[in-house]
Amino acid sequence: MKKTWLIAATVFCELIFCAISALPLDHRLRAPSPSFGAQSPADSVRAAEDGLALTPPMGWYPWNIFGEEPQNEKLIKEIVDALVSSGLKEAGYSYVGPDEGICFYRGDDGLLTSNLERYPSRLRGLGDYIHRKGLKYALYTDAGSRTCSKAMPGTKDHEFEDMRRFAEWRADYIKIDWCNTEGQDIVKTYTTLRDAQRAAGRPVIHSLCSWGEGYPWRWAAAVGHLWRTTGDICAPGQADWGQAMEIASANEKLSDFAGPGHWNDPDMMIVGMPGVSDTQNRTFFSLWCLMAAPLIAGNDLRSMSESTVETLTNFEAIAVDQDPLGVQGKIVRTEGAISLWAEKPLFDGSQAVLVHNQGRHPAKKRVSWTEIGIDGAAPRYVRNLWTHETTGPLPGGITVDVAPGDVAMLRVSEKNDFPMPPILMADSYLVSLRSTGSASQQLTGTITITNKGSAEIPPWRVGEVLPSWLTVTVMRKGKSQTFTNTISTAGLKKGLYHAVVRADNTEPVSGRPMSTLYYDVDLEVTQDVSGPSR
């Protein structure tokens, strides 16, 4: 019954939105019109089905700092190692992989094949490396005939075989660019790519990258999980503060369209790039968190200053971005150079608030409780998310001093308690087992998921669809839960076996579903095994 509804809703969306591609398109649109109405509930279909990206994806992509040329297996692996050792993994950053940069070719058989000069372990080998580190694998492609620099093939006319190939490489996230798409209908194209992904049978986040072209916020929740709202934030290696602030301003106007499983994407971050000051890092990160933007770092993780690490791993700011309600905050008042951002309710009933001073002089700003839409009579506690200090209870409001270019990022609550939502870290996303000999064996491999949030979460519920050779049990120990994967080889023929395990959970304070967890189990059977045949 539920499934029938989902299919019907999808068809409905397609019928309604096929007209949109006929709108005049402005290449890499900069300032989208704020006047479009909100999406209908049917638009959340894709996330409702796969449970992916129920909070904004966090990770790293190479484009902002490196551009195309230096990308290769060695570099990506070094970045992966730095992501782990710097503490970014612990703070929730997980999706990582190459952007445009000759990763693959199209062979004479029409199928994609890894560029072995740059990726000697092949793209599947890189995926396994990333999964073993407890991270998720991100790849890049284009919906047109070629990628932007024309150096790599696009998916046009190869949608189904390419999504199958990305699934074989074990991608968890695919950024799909919109270059070289002349004459293509944008809604139909991205819808075909969604269908191709479903046919490939692997749950993958689709990150649509049309720079606002085709007004993706109007229709893309049904076909993807996030969509770029603007042009590129910078040319590779050259952070541009003015451009970043223009992008924030354009993205701010689209707050009605974001929510769990479907996010406005104002592009990768410039935090930690050369030329960006510590104050700018803090301001940028605060704006992205208030906007519930995907937190995709774009700096060189191998050479970060302490202050950059501190900014990117500020758990209290990340908690605002990763809040389970998934509301995108907005500007509620502008006075001269001061903008007041609010309307960002959080899962425990508190509110996130940001005062941004874009002027050249220090500013004092009174934030009244009524101004941010909360009962003015009740005194509130205020947590400063950068100094990590709490004040209160304060009746009526708070006065903050904000240095030029800086922000005051606050959390306002009735209680003197500021809980953290779940932030997850995996020890691995790949169980890899091998049986030897012809006698049947029981093999086990574990995956442990640790929650860095404040509340314990209930046990993960493992999906029912598992192959007959695999059973999974979940044990909770404090903030960690261990999935024990037991494999019985009885009756299996020699060969390679693979399963994707799905697990669901609920955030206990808000009762909202948490992003679904997926991991891979590989089994190699080296000889036919005795026992009842399967």
Query: For residues 59 and 346, what is the distance between their CA atoms, to the nearest angstrom?
Result: 22
Please, what is the minimum distance in Å from the beta carbon of residue 288 to ligand GLA?
15
Which DSSP letter does residue 515 get? P
Helix (H) or strand (E) holding 517: strand 517-525
Site string for ligand GLA, 349-388 (x = CB under 6 A): ----------------------------------------
The Cα 253–Cα 441 span in angstroms is: 59
Q: How far is CA 119 from CA 126, 301, 403, 437, in A?
A: 8, 20, 47, 34
Q: How far is CA 441 from the centre of its chain?
A: 39
Which residues make Cβ contacts (< 8 Å) with residue 306, sequence separation at least 6?
Answer: none
At its nearest, how many Å lie between ligand GLA and the CB of residue 299? 14
Residue 300 touches ligand GLA, criterion: CB under 6 A = no
Write the interaction track for ligand GLA spanning residues 246-285; mark x where CB under 6 A is met and - where it is not. ----------------------------------------
Task: Tell me the number of residues near ligand GLA by CB under 6 A.
Answer: 9
For the chain, the 3-state helix, strand and coil shares in percent, each to the nearest 5, are 25, 30, 45
Q: Work out how close the CB of 228 gets to ligand GLA at its nearest, in angstroms, rounded to a whole number.
A: 6
Q: Does 232 bind ligand GLA (CB under 6 A)?
A: yes
* Cα–Cα distance, 267 to 244 (Å, whole number): 9
Nearer to ligand GLA, 178 or 341 (CB): 178
Query: Which amino acid does the sequence have at 387?
Result: T
CA within 13 Å, CB half, 528? 5
Nearer to ligand GLA, 147 or 308 (CB): 147
Q: What is the nearest approach in angstroms of ligand GLA to the Cβ of residue 60?
A: 13
Q: Is 63 in the site for ligand GLA (CB under 6 A)?
A: yes
Q: Which is nearer to ligand GLA, 100 or 159 (CB)?
A: 100
Strand partners, 302: none
Q: Does 245 bind ligand GLA (CB under 6 A)?
A: no
Residue 64: strand, helix, or coil = helix
Least distance (Å) between residue 285 CB and ligand GLA = 19
E-strand stretches of 292-429:
295-297, 330-335, 338-345, 351-357, 363-368, 380-384, 389-394, 397-402, 407-413, 424-426
- The least CB distance from residue 354 to ligand GLA, in Å, is 26
**Is residue 213 a contact residue for ligand GLA (CB under 6 A)?**
no
Which is nearer to ligand GLA, 70 or 87 (by Cβ)? 70
| One residue of 43, 100, 172, 316 binding ligand GLA per CB under 6 A | 100
Shortest gap between Cβ of 88 and ligand GLA (angstroms)?
20
Q: How far apart are CA 138 and CA 126, in angstroms?
A: 10
Task: Identify which of 158, 159, 152, 157 has the alpha carbon closest to the alpha carbon of residue 198.
Answer: 159
Find residue 340's DSSP bridge partners: 333, 355
Q: Which of 91, 205, 209, 221 binds ligand GLA (CB under 6 A)?
A: 209
Residue 435: which H helix or E strand, with range? strand 430-435
Residue 148 or 309: the one with the smaller Cβ distance to ligand GLA is: 148
Nearer to ligand GLA, 148 or 466 (CB): 148
Report in angstroms how near the CB of residue 368 gets to ligand GLA at its nearest: 40
**Ranges within 417-446 binding ligand GLA (CB under 6 A):** none
Asked if 148 touches ligand GLA (CB under 6 A), the answer is yes
Phi, psi torsion values for 189, nearest 5 degrees: -65, -50
Of 141 and 308, the one with the shorter C-beta distance to ligand GLA is 141
Question: In the numeric block, which tokens belong to residue 15?
Answer: 């019928």
- Residues 43, 50, 73, 99: which binds ligand GLA (CB under 6 A)? 99
Does the active-site annotation cover 528?
A: no
Phi-psi region of 465 (alpha: psi -120 to 50; beta: other; left: phi over 0): beta
Minimum CB distance to ligand GLA smaller for 95 or for 211: 211
**Selected binder of ligand GLA within 44, 121, 149, 480 (CB under 6 A):** 149
Neighbouring-strand partners of residue 278: none
Instruction: Name the nearest CA neighbour of 308 among 341, 334, 290, 285.
Output: 285
Q: What angle do CA 267, 272, 275 make, to 5 degrees?
A: 100
Nearest approach in angstroms of CB 296 to ligand GLA is: 10
How far apart (Å, rounded) are the C-alpha atoms in residues 291 and 415?
24
Binding mask 449-488 for ligand GLA (x = CB under 6 A): ----------------------------------------
Catalytic residue from among 43, 172, 177, 265: 177
Nearer to ligand GLA, 210 or 322 (CB): 210
177 in active site: yes
Catalytic residue among 99, 142, 232, 267: 232
- How far is residue 235's CA from residue 64's CA, in Å, rounded to a whole number? 7
User: Is residue 177 a contact point for ligand GLA (CB under 6 A)?
Assistant: yes
- Distances, alpha carbon 314 to alpha carbons 376, 386, 426, 431, 433, in Å: 29, 8, 19, 31, 37
Question: Of 209 and 244, which CB lies nearer to ligand GLA in the complex structure?
Answer: 209
Minimum CB separation of residue 142 from ligand GLA in Å reads 8
Active site residues per annotation: 177, 232
Site of interaction with ligand GLA (CB under 6 A): 63, 99-100, 148-149, 177, 209, 211, 232
